[in-house]
A and B are shown apart, each in its own frame.
Chain A
Amino acid sequence: MNRLAIPKTYKLYIGGKFPRSESGRVYEVLSHKGDFLANAAKGSRKDARDAVVAARSALGGWAGATAYNRGQVLYRIAELLEGRRAQFIDEIMSCEGVNAAGASAQVDEAIDRWVWYAGWADKYVQVAGNANPVSGPFFNLSVPEPTGVVAIIAPQGAESLLGLVSAIAPALVAGNTVVVVANENAPLSAISLGEVLATSDVPGGVVNIVTGSPAEIAPWLATHADVNALDLVGAGDLDWVELQISAADTLKRVLPPEVGADAAAPALSRILAFTELKTVWHTKAIL
């Protein structure tokens, strides 16, 4: 007997919840052959605004968690990704038209990368911070601290899951909260990642995923006064120079687009890009 297939409607992931777009819009996600796969929410500027509010309110808890705790929470996500690998492989195959081996390899690499970044959570401060030599009876310590709310345009090319993970994991490690605009043509693994995050230990609002058109949403995030940093890694096809200029009005940290196979390659510099160095003086004890 034939049964009627129930296609999934993919929603946004904002503040730990899965709302539809406030605009009520959806767009069709097509397979690489052009067949209908699913409806995804077409996020609007107001969804991005709500996501920034959620990210801002989650910042204190996430940035204030101990580095060890953040590392554990991030590692836990990798565990859950492993448990859901069949779903991710399935979505990547239908969206990107790669074979099972290729999709499996991408999921493996995404999980490995996530674990690699999770390990940095309680280590990057030791590498990037310092006890500075000063000519006086003082300690002079420099420590990196999270920048704040980071807006990210996820990579828009092939390897949708790996691109997304490569973009958000480094920002999370330092304690930033994230608003990410997903891969427009292949958003399925982004929302499935949201489902993983919702069932993990990541507090709601730490990662917010908006699906839809980066060209429509990015300018609102670039000018938003409550966004502290902008990662344009996937904005190569947009007018990203204009985005950089408008981000400068509110003194955001900005990373430029990256293209090619090495785009958003794992690096300590990606973690440090969204940190602020705080230097404190303290008197030495007099014995």
Chain B
Amino acid sequence: MTQSPLATYQPAQRALALIGGEATDANLRRYLHGIPGIDAVGLEARAADLGTRSIKTSSKRWAIDTIIGLIDLTTLEGADTPGKVRSLVAKALLPDPGDPGTPRVAAVCVYGDMVGSAVTALGSAHAAGGTSGVNVAAVATAFPSGRASLAIKLADVHDAVAAGADEIDMVIDRGAFLAGRFGQVYDEIVAVKDACRRADGSMAHLKVILETGELNTYDNVRRASWLAILAGGDFIKTSTGKVAPAATLPVTLSMLEVVRDWHRLTGVRIGVKPAGGIRTSKDAIKYLVTVAETVGEEWLTPHLFRFGASSLLNDVLLQRQKMTTGHYSGPDYVTID
């Protein structure tokens, strides 16, 4: 495949070249509304079709271990305590104490003020952006509503990064997006991306939460995905998990298609993270199939695909125990949190 000249540009230049001018509301609207619309019926039919694949025996075993390695083990409750974060980290490091061969999850995902507790609890197992160990992701920018001034959102991000967060899950301003103030959404993402820079110049990974449940149409999801990628997001994430509907297979498929198109256009790989509502291994396997069929199997690494989930891990562990022992397991044999 011949690379387009766009691939050689710096990210900011590239975005401006694509948009055809400064990132103003008018320019962004012209660009985003110029993207072809989505055939909603076709998208849902395609997603439903991908969900019918039968994954059994050795493929299923591979899928289960892959899923565990892609999970962002999440606790985002008002009642979170340092103790709860410690037990979450313990579970992230050793998901199934009955089988030390169980892979570790990719990251733990907590509120910004809990990052310190998570980093301490991880100790030497803290991957700090690397590949061995577990990363710490923090939600920021007035999660989950995003209703705060930019200064407060940026302070939120700075705090989390300073406390040792390797990944920042930001929310976009859905109100601004739906009102057509694309420039504001764009500028916020750019500013948050800049705030992800650490003192030593390295960058925390930025995941941009679109909150697709509030965007109403697949066309809006596609536009928001383009907008987030243009502005410099490393990952696009479906939902906060606080709004229903959260992640659905068609929405994730449409975001994967944007990521595929972006890769074809620029050669850059963007990650996707469906979050919320994925509770069973069966559902998660459907997502694996969709990823492999849409962007390719090379996306099935923690750097390019994640599940945002809390209860999914237990269901996957039950399936894993069933495959290992040959008989059905039960909720008494996995930890509650």
Chain B residues closer than 8 Å to A224, beta-carbon distance: 327-328, 330
Q: Mark B305-337, 1 if CB is under 8 A from A, else 0.
A: 000000000000000010000111111110000
**Pairwise interchain contact B327-A226, C-beta atoms closer than 8 A:** no
Query: A223: which of B327, B331, B333 is its contact (CB, 8 Å)?
Result: B327
A223 to B171 alpha-carbon distance, docked (Å)? 46
Name the distance in Å between B311's Cβ and chain A's nearest Cβ. 14
Chain A residues closer than 8 Å to B331, beta-carbon distance: 56, 226
> Number of B residues contacting the other chain (C-beta, 8 Å)?
9
**Pairwise interchain contact B330-A56, C-beta atoms closer than 8 A:** yes
Chain B residues closer than 8 Å to A56, beta-carbon distance: 330-331
Interface size class of A (residues with CB under 8 A): 10 to 19
Chain A residues closer than 8 Å to B330, beta-carbon distance: 52, 56, 224-227
Chain B residues closer than 8 Å to A220, beta-carbon distance: 327-328
Q: Mark A30-70, 1 if CB is under 8 A from B, else 0.
A: 00000000000000000001001000100000000000000
Task: Look across to chain B and name the residue whose beta carbon is closest to the beta carbon of A227.
Answer: B330
Chain A residues closer than 8 Å to B329, beta-carbon distance: 225-226
Name the distance in Å between A216's Cβ and chain B's nearest Cβ. 14
A223 to B332 alpha-carbon distance, docked (Å)? 14
Task: Look across to chain A and name the residue whose beta carbon is closest to the beta carbon of B333.
Answer: A225
Name the distance in Å between A116's Cβ and chain B's nearest Cβ. 33
Chain B residues closer than 8 Å to A226, beta-carbon distance: 328-332
Q: Mark A210-239, 1 if CB is under 8 A from B, else 0.
A: 000000000010011111000000000000
Name the distance in Å between B114's Cβ and chain A's nearest Cβ. 31
Chain A residues closer than 8 Å to B327, beta-carbon distance: 220, 223-225, 246
Residue in B321, B326, B327, B333 with the greatest tally of chain A CB atoms within 10 Å:
B327
A224 to B332 alpha-carbon distance, docked (Å)? 12
Chain A residues closer than 8 Å to B328, beta-carbon distance: 49, 52, 220, 223-226
A227 to B327 alpha-carbon distance, docked (Å)? 12
Name the distance in Å between A37's Cβ and chain B's nearest Cβ. 32
Q: Mark A136-160, 1 if CB is under 8 A from B, else 0.
A: 0000000000000000000000000
Name the distance in Å between B198's Cβ and chain A's nearest Cβ. 46
A173 to B326 alpha-carbon distance, docked (Å)? 33
Task: Look across to chain B and name the residue whose beta carbon is closest to the beta carbon of A226.
Answer: B330
Chain A residues closer than 8 Å to B326, beta-carbon distance: 223
Q: Mark B42-76, 1 if CB is under 8 A from A, else 0.
A: 00000000000000000000000000000000000
A227 to B333 alpha-carbon distance, docked (Å)? 12
A225 to B98 alpha-carbon distance, docked (Å)? 14
A230 to B104 alpha-carbon distance, docked (Å)? 36
Chain A residues closer than 8 Å to B321, beta-carbon distance: 225
A215 to B328 alpha-carbon distance, docked (Å)? 17
Chain A residues closer than 8 Å to B332, beta-carbon distance: 225-226
A206 to B332 alpha-carbon distance, docked (Å)? 19
Name the distance in Å between A50's Cβ and chain B's nearest Cβ. 11
Residue in B326, B330, B331, B333 with the greatest tally of chain A CB atoms within 10 Å:
B330
A252 to B80 alpha-carbon distance, docked (Å)? 36
Name the distance in Å between B6's Cβ and chain A's nearest Cβ. 50
A246 to B327 alpha-carbon distance, docked (Å)? 10
Name the distance in Å between B196's Cβ and chain A's nearest Cβ. 42
Task: Look across to chain B and name the residue whose beta carbon is closest to the beta carbon of A149.
Answer: B330
Residue in A220, A226, A246 with the greatest tally of chain B CB atoms within 10 Å:
A226
Chain B residues closer than 8 Å to A246, beta-carbon distance: 327
A241 to B330 alpha-carbon distance, docked (Å)? 23
Task: Look across to chain B and name the residue whose beta carbon is closest to the beta carbon of A48.
Answer: B328
A226 to B331 alpha-carbon distance, docked (Å)? 7
A49 to B315 alpha-carbon distance, docked (Å)? 14
A224 to B326 alpha-carbon distance, docked (Å)? 10
A56 to B333 alpha-carbon distance, docked (Å)? 14
Task: Look across to chain A and name the residue whose beta carbon is closest to the beta carbon of B328.
Answer: A224
Name the distance in Å between A228's Cβ and chain B's nearest Cβ. 9
| Those of B209-258 within 8 Å (CB) of chain A | none
A163 to B197 alpha-carbon distance, docked (Å)? 72
A226 to B332 alpha-carbon distance, docked (Å)? 7
Name the distance in Å between A84's Cβ and chain B's nearest Cβ. 34
Name the distance in Å between A254's Cβ and chain B's nearest Cβ. 16
Name the distance in Å between A212's Cβ and chain B's nearest Cβ. 17
Task: Look across to chain B and name the residue whose beta carbon is closest to the beta carbon of A219.
Answer: B327
A223 to B330 alpha-carbon distance, docked (Å)? 11
Task: Look across to chain B and name the residue whose beta carbon is closest to the beta carbon of A221.
Answer: B328
Task: Look across to chain A and name the residue whose beta carbon is closest to the beta carbon of B326.
Answer: A223
A224 to B330 alpha-carbon distance, docked (Å)? 8
A226 to B329 alpha-carbon distance, docked (Å)? 6
- Known contacts A223-B327, A225-B329, A226-B331; can you find 5 more A-B pairs with CB under 8 A? A56-B331, A224-B327, A224-B328, A225-B327, A225-B332
16 example contacts (A-B, Cβ-Cβ < 8 A) are as follows A52-B328, A52-B330, A56-B330, A56-B331, A220-B327, A220-B328, A223-B326, A223-B328, A224-B328, A224-B330, A225-B321, A225-B328, A225-B333, A226-B328, A226-B329, A246-B327
10 tightest A-B contacts by CB?
A226-B330, A223-B327, A225-B330, A224-B328, A225-B329, A49-B328, A225-B333, A225-B328, A224-B327, A220-B328
